[in-house]
Structure 1
């Protein structure tokens, strides 16, 4: 194998690794519910909101409780998604 062939093989292998990382990052989706399951939030690998589900029990919460439930649940989902994302990137770089 010539030097150019070896370089091409190495470049292709690196491109394949990058494509796998890209696919794995795109596949991240986290669903997180709060403790009483009144709020369920789904986020992607960047922590972007994908879905928000509210149970019927949400009506018993005050506006302030509702706000706290949504924000805390979204934050927990985003932390988990970003943790997974970071793990994939660390593994790629390792």
Structure 2
């Protein structure tokens, strides 16, 4: 419980700072994955949006279907890692909130 208006304002200000920090941390999430054969490297942000796509000469050995499957699998793996990192940030934030 809060005894004074100053304590209430300090508590609210602290929560605002924590929310901003969470937002900044979530905005900074990046995940990079490379396909097992090294042909494709994908970087995504915390929302799973593609930021970078790098292809090596090894893509020439892939069939169109193989390329598509490798690209999708690599992008999915990167997005999964990014979502997991965001989830950890939120879990930590909520745990600190409940202290």
TM-score (norm: length of structure 1)? 0.96
Please tell me whether residue 69 in structure 1 is matched to residue 80 in structure 2.
no
What is residue 82 of structure 1 aligned with on the other side? 83
Give the conservation status (yes or no) of the 8 Å contact 2:37–2:58.
Answer: no
Count residues in correspondence.
Answer: 93
Q: Could you say what secondary structure the match of 1:43 adopts?
A: strand
Separation (CA, whole Å) in 1 of partners of 2:37 and 2:21:
37
How far 1:3 sits from its partner (Å)?
1.0
CA RMSD in angstroms, aligned pairs only: 0.9
Q: Deviation above 6 Å: which 4+ runs of structure 1?
A: none
Shift of 1:36: 1.3
Equivalent residue, structure 1, for 2:26: 25
> Gapped runs of 5+ residues in structure 1?
none
Q: CA deviation at 1:57?
A: 1.1
Q: 1-side partners of 2:86 and 2:10: how far apart?
A: 28
Q: Distance in 2 between matches of 1:47 and 1:88?
A: 16
Unaligned runs of 5+ in 2: none
**TM-score under structure 2 length normalisation:** 0.91
Do the aligned residues in 1 keep the contact of 2:46 with 2:82 (CA within 8 Å)?
A: yes
The alignment status of 1:40 with 2:41, answered yes or no, reads yes
SS, match of residue 54 in structure 2: strand
Report the Cα offset of residue 61 of structure 1: 0.5
| Cα distance per residue 1:13-65 (max 9 Å; x no partner) | 10111011001001001111011110000000111111111101101100010
